[in-house]
């Protein structure tokens, strides 16, 4: 059973930083694109960031460009989301995702999901 486990969520004031981690239970994930999505209450799941197999190619949602950075460590089978200059509108449950079968920007493309970790940004 493939598992993705997120960690690092929490509460922070606006302007602060958090780093999320996602660990995969299988080393095969080093061969896949990996990504992050988020979902606020009452809203659809939103694309945040994705990274290619080598880590040399990254993709970001418009609302997080310049503030968030996605990275990966294929030796540790873990990828990360560094979130800086956080805003209250960044609040939501953040999900890591693995192995997109299509466009990385659509949640329906992704095969594997973590359980989610809550991020709360207060003003």
pLDDT in 10s for each residue of the chain, 123 residues: 779 999 999 999 999 999 999 999 888 888 899 999 999 999 999 999 999 999 899 999 999 999 999 999 999 999 999 999 999 999 999 999 999 999 999 999 999 999 999 999 999
Which residue is listed with tokens 């009452």?
42
Distance between CA atoms of residues 83 and 68, nearest Å: 4
Residue 70, classified by CB atoms within 10 Å of its CB into exposed (0-12), middle (13-18) or buried (19+), is buried
The pLDDT of residue 107 is 95
Distance between CA atoms of residues 80 and 71, nearest Å: 5
Determine contact, residues 73/22, Cβ cutoff 8 Å: no
Distance between CA atoms of residues 10 and 32, nearest Å: 27
Phi, psi dihedral angles at 100 (to 5 degrees): -75, 135
The candidate with the shortest Cα–Cα distance to 50, out of 116, 3, 95, is 95
């Amino acid at each position: 059973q493939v598992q993705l486990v997120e960690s690092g969520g929490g509460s922070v004031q606006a302007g602060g930083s958090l780093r999320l981690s996602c660990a995969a239970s299988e080393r095969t994930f080093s061969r896949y694109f990996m990504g992050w999505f988020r979902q606020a209450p009452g809203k659809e799941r939103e694309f945040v960031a994705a990274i290619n197999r080598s880590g040399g190619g990254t993709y970001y949602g418009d609302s997080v460009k310049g503030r968030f950075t996605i990275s990966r460590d294929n030796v540790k089978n873990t990828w990360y989301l560094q979130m800086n200059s956080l805003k209250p509108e960044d609040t939501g449950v953040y999900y890591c995702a693995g192995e997109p079968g299509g466009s990385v920007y659509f949640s329906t493309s992704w095969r594997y999901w973590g359980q989610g970790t809550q991020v709360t940004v207060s003003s």
